[in-house]
Structure 1
Amino acid sequence: MSQIKIAHILHSVGGVDVSLRFILKNIDDDKFENIIIHGYHDTNHNFFNKKNKKLVSYKVPIERNISFFKDITSVFQTYKILKSEKPQIIHAHSAKGGVIGRFLGFILGINVLYTPQAFSYLSSEIKFKKFLFLQIEKFLITKSNYLLASSNSERLRAINEVGYKKNNVILFNNSIQEVLSIKQLSIDKTWPNKYICTVGRPSYQKNIELMIRVVNEVRKEQNIHLVIMGVGHHSDRLSNVQKLIQEYGLSDAVTLIDWTERENIFNIISNSKLYISTSRYEGLPYSVIESLALGKPCIVSDCDGNRDLITNGYNGFVIKDENIEEFSEKIKLVFNDEVLSKKLSENAKKSFDEDYNIEKNILKLQEIYSKYAIKN
């Protein structure tokens, strides 16, 4: 039986990059051949398969922001690559990869699986821009384009808002490998032993300003420290967060870490009291999945992705309507109640084992690829 060739198209940063690498390291190399088409400047790391063999990858000028010249160039260069490589299926990841992949899939008659990892129109604070991005999503729906949702919330949004037919929407939850060992920190530890943590760049999506306000509320009754990881890239609201920290006098209560290795992130999460997310939207956030895998209770905002992962009172708490007081009360509850914290921790690990382990879930993705690939 010949291999099925998959072309992955993406701007390979953040959770999108993480998602692809987990797929590549777990998929059956005897059945599937993977090539990657990504941006010039998104990652300097090569892509490897399950056998640790370096995979074929191409660089085109895909960037996060809209650039007419670079986007058109990306389309033409990707077209040439696809014509040469002749994949049986395209997996388009994120908004920019989705636009290029779906357009060229239609032109070339190749089925496309599109994984938004949170729809682009959710990212805009401007109503017209949000409307425009939504219309682009709607325009690119074709019979050969299938929405491969990273969470059930994303699946429902694709059907109810974007306009996909139910039969053209498939669910495959973001998944990771089990974290089997925790390495020692390779950076200096400058925060106290009892702390809470998060991973997220200061941006509209992550809503770190709300998190700072929550910490300020908690500290009216409870001494607490927050460690924020990943503030170094695309952090357009970092100055707002820093000003808010100064305004509330929280300089000694918040640690900002620009960038660090994933091993350090795992160490910091595993030694924290709980994980917190105040996001406005997500696909299915890897940092929360990692926290579940590490047995950490999670207190999260009620948004796409977060609400799919966390069940109130089972493995954490979901807070509606950006309610600062409710966030504060639940943090203090988990922080101080060791019996509750242990129960939530055990259930967090169980949640991961049952639903988000890539070693189990990769079989479902392989079935999806096989079903929608164009047979030569």
Structure 2
Amino acid sequence: MPTGEKLRIVHCFRSPVGGIFRHVRDLCDAQRAAGHEVGIICDSTTGGTYEANLIAELEPRLSLGVKRTPMQRHIGLGDLTAARRAYGVVRGMRPDVLHGHGAKGGVYARVFGSLMRLSGQKPARIYSPHGGSLHYAAETATGRFFFSIERMMDRLTDHILFVSDYERRTFEQKVGLPRAPFTLVYNGLTADEFTPVRTMPGAADFLYIGMMRDLKGPDLFIDALALAEKSLDRSLTAVMVGDGDDLGRYKRQAQDLGFGDRIRFLPAMPARDAFSLARIMVVPSRAEAMPYIVLEALAAGRTLIASSVGGIPEIFGEDSPALTQPDCEAIAAKMHLALSDHAAFHAIMPSLDDLRMRFGADVMAAAIETAYRASLKANR
């Protein structure tokens, strides 16, 4: 197809929260700026006030709009009704490119795109796993079930976009070598995100930002803070920013360990607003693909301790002393080290020049558009 031909692009994903939603918003803005018609379809039952405000801000910029319809997180009988409703919405948007993000969005996009071909439409069926089903263990019944679905969906896929080499390797190990063409495209940051954020007076010692669910490790953060207090023999303070169904459990955990108001829990907010609230940020995730929050924090000049999981070592370097195992004792040891000599610990963070070169939003958007056009050319 002609290189300059404008495209109708629809991004399909379930939950408008976290890194996937951030990734889609960045892509939408870059693709809109390139002159494409862009739209979104996502779940209408997840996300709070913060996410609703982001959608309200984004929607007027998208010529194909933001369509929200109920999408179940887990597979069940309600999926048939939800999928039928979502298919009608997507078909009416008449996309040239149907880009599915995450496990549920990936299935919907590829099945819908295949069904649309029966009626003469030929959208490119693009899939970005973003971790998704790849987080399941291969030896479990649940894992085997989801990986069998991934293998079936691979036959309906025109291109797979991996956000980290770890994600690509995991896909090959658990699902198999993709039949579809695939590309490694790192998540990208905009130029203004490389502006340093200053620490506010009276800031806490440590910061957690993320969904309040065990996969992201807020329980590890709280336990590690208690252990670091003992090793340092002084009281520590922290701020935990985020929402989720398990928030109440983490608040009880903090109270049971005697933190009282020394751990402040705050609702989701823009990451750069949260960065100023503490001196050192901790990402204690048990599993990740390529988390935006790590990139955002480093670009803002923050000091960071992060789990050595998923694609995170690809950001820092495999042997970086800033990396830790997702274990409360290991995290506590890094907390102790970082507080003992903050300047020396900060000096081991990746350079901004390296981050700009590898993780720019312009680099990300250009690589993804190349994959779109290659898929459309192959289809035609």
Which TM-score bucket, shorter chain as reference?
Answer: 0.7 to 0.9
Q: How many Å separate the matches in 2 of 1:124 and 1:257?
A: 32
Q: Give the Å deviation of 1:19.
A: 1.0
Segment of structure 1 superposing worse, 93-102 or 78-87: 78-87
Segment of structure 1 superposing worse, 322-331 or 152-161: 322-331
| Alpha-carbon spacing, 1:155–1:66, altered in 2? closer, same or farther (3 Å) | same
Selected match of 1:18 from 18, 22, 28: 22
More helix by share: 2
**Is residue 2:357 matched to residue 1:318?**
no
**Residues 270 and 295, structure 1, Cα contact 8 Å, conserved in 2:** no
**Is residue 2:212 matched to residue 1:202?**
yes
Matching residue's letter, 1:226: A
Hey, what does 2:238 align to over in structure 1? 226
| Alpha-carbon spacing, 1:116–1:82, altered in 2? closer, same or farther (3 Å) | same
Hey, what does 2:120 align to over in structure 1? none
Unaligned runs of 5+ in 1: none
Q: How many Å separate the matches in 1 of 2:338 and 2:352?
A: 16
Hey, what does 1:32 align to over in structure 2? 36
Q: Deviations over 1:307-360 (max 9, x none)?
A: 33233665x62213x343332222222223244134234x35344312222134
Q: Give the Å deviation of 1:67.
A: 4.3
Matching residue's letter, 1:317: A
Hey, what does 2:145 align to over in structure 1? 132
**Is residue 2:186 matched to residue 1:173?**
yes
| Alpha-carbon spacing, 1:192–1:363, altered in 2? closer, same or farther (3 Å) | same
Q: Secondary structure at the match of 1:196?
A: strand
| Alpha-carbon spacing, 1:184–1:153, altered in 2? closer, same or farther (3 Å) | closer
Q: Secondary structure at the match of 2:239?
A: strand
**Is residue 2:221 matched to residue 1:216?**
no
Q: CA RMSD in A?
A: 3.1
**Is residue 2:110 matched to residue 1:105?**
no
Hey, what does 1:278 align to over in structure 2? 284
Selected match of 1:257 from 266, 273, 276: 266
- State, as a whole percentage, how many aligned pairs show the same letter: 20
Q: Deviations over 1:163-215 (max 9, x none)?
A: 24276322111222232668999xxx9x9424111112331311222211211
**Is residue 2:112 matched to residue 1:92?**
no
TM superposition score normalised by structure 1: 0.84
| Alpha-carbon spacing, 1:241–1:28, altered in 2? closer, same or farther (3 Å) | closer
**Is residue 2:80 matched to residue 1:72?**
yes
Q: Give the Å deviation of 1:98.
A: 1.1
**Residues 155 and 180, structure 2, Cα contact 8 Å, conserved in 1:** no
Q: How many Å separate the matches in 2 of 1:342 and 1:319?
A: 15
Q: Secondary structure at the match of 2:38?
A: strand
Q: Deviations over 1:227-278 (max 9, x none)?
A: 1110x23x33x3442333233222243221133x31xx31331453222112
Selected match of 1:357 from 326, 348, 360: 360
**Is residue 2:379 matched to residue 1:370?**
no
Q: How many Å separate the matches in 2 of 1:370 and 1:274?
A: 42
Hey, what does 2:274 align to over in structure 1? 268
Q: Deviations over 1:106-162 (max 9, x none)?
A: 333433211122122526899333332222222222153432112211111112211
Selected match of 1:8 from 6, 11, 15: 11
Segment of structure 1 superposing worse, 274-283 or 158-167: 158-167
Unaligned runs of 5+ in 2: 118-122
Q: How many Å separate the matches in 1 of 2:156 and 2:13?
A: 21
Q: Give the Å deviation of 1:105.
A: 2.2
Q: How many Å separate the matches in 1 of 2:93 and 2:333?
A: 55
Q: Deviations over 1:22-55 (max 9, x none)?
A: 1111225445221222223345324648x94654
Q: How many Å separate the matches in 2 of 1:96 and 1:47?
A: 25
**Is residue 2:70 matched to residue 1:61?**
yes
Q: Secondary structure at the match of 1:354?
A: helix
